[in-house]
């Protein structure tokens, strides 16, 4: 079954997300914590995608095409204020026909949830500012194992990915938060507020 109208809707949601992100980059505000307008847009997109999922199930390539399926995954990745929705999507992905795309999306989503739950990530896909003002991978279990898992998914080594992420941050004029301790405290308070941690 193919759903072209739904595919179009999902792509529109993703486009709105990326347009707001570009706007924040232009204003130099991407590194200033979680922007309120961005959080509201992420929540709205997640709620609309959740309605779509209730209607057609997970938006796979077969149902909505490559672009819309990728767009759905981006919306899920950004639904960080909706822990239950993100966890539901992991379960849906785990029961979706396994192709390389699904495996990759699942790896990123699993890592993202682990980081929000303050657990170690398995693939090293999630980065944040470290005490030296550099973007570095967040806590992971073991570098050799992480690189083995990344290789199995066709990803760069963690060392290579770190260089790529840092280069992109420079190109986007991202900068270290002025008060890293305060930012970490705010993130922890936010995680508690939305239900990632107790």
Q: What is the pLDDT of residues 43-91, one digit of tens each?
A: 999 999 999 999 999 999 999 999 999 999 999 999 999 999 999 999 9
Q: Residue 31 — pLDDT band, cuts 50, 70, 90?
A: low
Mean pLDDT of the chain: 93
Q: Which residues contact 122 (CB under 8 A, 6 or more apart)?
A: 107, 110, 111, 114, 140, 141, 145, 146, 149
> Higher pLDDT residue, 180 or 16?
16
What global pTM score does this model have? 0.90
Cα gap 126→108, rounded to integer Å:
8
pLDDT digits (tens, 9 = 90+) for 9-19: 999 999 999 99
Q: Return the pLDDT at 32.
A: 67
Q: How many CA atoms, within 13 angstroms, populate the side-chain half-sphere of residue 151?
A: 8
* Cβ-contact 158, 137 below 8 angstroms: yes
**Residue 35 — pLDDT band, cuts 50, 70, 90?**
confident
- For residue 33, what pLDDT band results from cuts at 50, 70 and 90? confident
In tens, the pLDDT along 36-45 reads 999 999 999 9
Where do we find the tokens 């990123």? 108
CA distance 60 to 49: 13
């Amino acid at each position: 079954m193919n759903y072209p109208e739904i595919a179009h809707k999902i792509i529109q949601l993703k486009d709105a997300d990326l347009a707001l992100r570009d706007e924040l980059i232009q204003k130099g505000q991407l590194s200033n914590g979680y922007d309120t307008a961005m959080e509201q847009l992420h929540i709205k997109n997640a709620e609309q995608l959740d309605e779509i999922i209730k209607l057609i199930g997970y938006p796979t390539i077969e149902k909505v095409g490559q672009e819309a399926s990728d767009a759905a995954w981006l919306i899920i990745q950004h639904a960080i204020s909706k822990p239950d929705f993100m966890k539901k999507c992991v379960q849906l992905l785990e029961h979706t026909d396994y192709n390389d795309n699904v495996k990759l999306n699942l790896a990123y989503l699993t890592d993202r949830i682990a980081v929000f739950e303050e657990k170690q990530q398995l693939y090293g896909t999630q980065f944040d500012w470290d005490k030296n003002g550099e973007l570095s991978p967040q806590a992971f279990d073991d570098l050799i194992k992480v690189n083995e898992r990344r290789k199995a998914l066709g990803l760069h080594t963690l060392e290579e990915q770190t260089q790529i992420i840092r280069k992109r941050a420079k190109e986007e004029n991202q900068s270290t938060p002025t008060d890293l301790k305060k930012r970490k405290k705010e993130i922890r308070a936010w995680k508690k507020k939305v239900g990632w941690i107790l």
